[in-house]
Structure 1
Amino acid sequence: MELQFSRHRRLRQSAGMRSLVRETYLHTEDLIYPLFVVEGENKRNEIPSMPGVYHISLDHLNKEMQEVVDLGIKSVILFGVPDEKDATGTGAYHDHGIVQRAISQTKEAFPELVVIADTCLCQYTDHGHCGIVKDGQVLNDPSLQLLAQTAVSQAKAGADIIAPSNMMDGFVAAIRQGLDEAGFDHIAIMSYGVKYSSAFYGPFRDAAHSTPQFGDRKTYQMDPANRMEALREAESDMLEGADFLIVKPALAYLDIIRDVKNTFNVPIVAYNVSGEYSMIKAAAQNGWVDEKAIVMESMIGMKRAGADLILTYFAKDIARWLKDQ
């Protein structure tokens, strides 16, 4: 009796055929490149736990941005690392803070770049938490006013998008109201709407000098075991005025990216976080993996899961690889 079965391999017979039927694509325009700006001069210091990622002072920033533009990357997100910190994170919302100056400088030199401002207090507080602390507790509502002030100061500096990452309840509502009242109703909010309390953030805390000085962030960042909670968090941010939703981290949360994409009709951003980056870099440096192949496969996985945009430290490398295809 003749066997009856499907010939799926017909569509895999050559590179041209595989390209013809490919379902998921990654484009340079999908990438958001993160940069860490620091005080001082003549600084371009590699972050030990993140090979290829640097602390950059403002006098080196334009050169870095020119490379980004030349590679075809359309958007960047700026993180500030101040010299001075205090209990309320004053540097986060100071009109002449490090991020505010970096935003203004970037928009003046490269007006076509979409500049996203990370909006949080943790890099600027001496205790390393994302809000005001009293008696060992991170206070939710008193922190909202400072977050709104931070967002307004970043918008004044020229930020195109505000990206609040603090996970305080009501943070999108407070920031949306603050922006609107200050005349910035045209400024979009890219909310870190689904941000898990993750072990994958370790290298970032080294880069941003933002490790909590006591306790952890589990009272405001999400439990990695929870799936439905992600949809509740995302829904709240949507109702409060979010224009984008970030899911963070990415690789261990591809199911969450798909859930959020299936539920909400806004651009979904996957944050390929520092730990994900550093693990691949370390393995590649040891010759254990093919860096380009594993990075591109990871990016396609995020896109296939539903991400419209990917925030990744690999952005410049990926842009080069895509140019060479």
Structure 2
Amino acid sequence: SLWESTRLKGRVWGVPQDAEARPFYYSKLLLRKMGWSEDEIESLDERVAAGKFTWQDMYDVAEEAVQTGIVGEGDGWWHRPSNGPDFLYYYYGAGGEIKGAGDELIFDKKAALIVYELLYEAAQELKILRPNKLDGNWDFHKDFTSKFDKVLFVFEGTWRWASWHVNYLQDLGGEDYLFANVGFAPIPANERGTGKPITLTHPLVYMVSSKSKHPDLALLLISKATTRALNTDYAVASGHLGILKSQLDYPPYTSAKFLSATLTLLEYTTFLPNSPYWSSYSEAYYLGIQAVESGDLTPKEALDVVVEKLNNEMGDNVIIRD
């Protein structure tokens, strides 16, 4: 599936160098405080993967955690504190498409409105998400989420697992602390959208410049670097996923418990579009997210502003789908 991320107009333009996924992390520590049994906690990943624990279920549990004082207001569910690829899988999960038959990008108003309504509900109505969560403060975000004793649910990346246990949890047992107190699964299915769990992968890729004087030598170097041994060394150290099927039964990889467990997330993955128009599209879509979470605009008002911005900045390069 990683090859799909390198395709443009039917051609492959690069070789994947790494991969990751963006899981749904949940605090076993806080779920225990809420009275969940060990069986309920340990089966949550399977229920998410089967579509039996949905995005809406997540909201319900997060709301309960806030109302009962297990977590503070706004700390039932967190996402990243700034714009990034993650927000696209919200749109995909709501049933949105982004690539059509041509070069234009698609903006599905129905799917986008579902996203804006969900985020408005989380921040402004249920109070499970901080209305100022998009403050760009990554240092606070990483520190505050690391112990999973203050935030119940977190949408993050696989690479954050390594960051948490290496940089924040050494005094508490490192990775052992995470396995004892944190679970992970695909992003829960959106009942109002596709009804299927999801994630997103944004691989880095090797490419050979058209101006290279020795393209064959460059390709040979890439092939020598793309081995299960070298890629596993990198993946284990950085919290990224393997790129080769041969890593599935490679002992140094399979012995890395977290990586081998999360490799199956690629079954649910989606990708960013390979498009020169993605930046403009992403910035407009994110503007709506900021507006509804802060309460500056209602979901419908935000949608109208985003559509106007897309039309003004992208013109014929965007298709607005009603």
Structure whose residues are more often helix by fraction: 2
Q: Which has the higher contact order (CA 8 A, sep 6+)?
A: 2
TM-score scaled to structure 2, two decimals? 0.28
